[in-house]
Amino acid sequence: MDPAMPLYARTLFERLEDGRTVPPVRMDPVQLSASILANLSAVFNARQGSCMTRPDYGLPDFNDALIKGPESMPVIARAIKAQIDRFEPRLVQVLVRPDHDPHNPLSLRFQISARLRGQDGERIGFETTLSDDGFVRVKR
C-alpha cells in the first residue's frame, strides 16, 4: 500500500501493518483451549432470540428434545455444530457426535472434535452435556 495515500483511504489493517508482513501467531495451547471452552459454554447456554443483534446466537430451546431423550440427539448435534461453525472461528473441521452413557441412558451427551485454526491443525476435543434443567456443561 502506498504510504503517501491519505489515512482515510486505507483500511485499519493496512494502516496497522503499514506494508510489513506479520508473522503468524501461535497461542499457548492451555490458554487457547480455556478461551474456546469459555466461548462454547457462553454460546451453548444462550438461547436463540435472546441476543437482539444476533437472533441466531445460542442454541434453540431443547425442552421438547429433553423429553424425547436420546432419539433427539441427531437434531441437537446439528444445532451444536451450526453454533460452533458460526460463533467459534478458531475451530475448523468440526465433528459433533452423540455419546451414549450406558450408566445414564437418558443423558444427552456429545463429543466435539475439531482442529485449531492456525495452530498447525492441532486437534482438540470437548464433551458437552445437556442437563434436564437446560444448562449445557462443556469440558475438555
**Residues pairing with 127 in the sheet:** 111, 139
- The more confidently predicted of residues 65 and 103 is 103
**Residues pairing with 129 in the sheet:** 109, 137
* DSSP one-letter code for 132: T
Residue 109 to residue 4: CA distance in whole angstroms: 57
Report pLDDT for 8: 60
Complete domains list, the chain, with CATH? 28-139 (3.10.450.40)
CA-to-CA dists, residue 110 to 16, 23, 120, angstroms: 41, 36, 25
pTM higher than 0.85: no
Q: pLDDT tens digits for 39-49? A: 999 999 999 99
In which band, very low, low, confident or very high, does the pLDDT at 7 lie, cut at 50, 70 and 90? low
Average pLDDT, the chain: 86
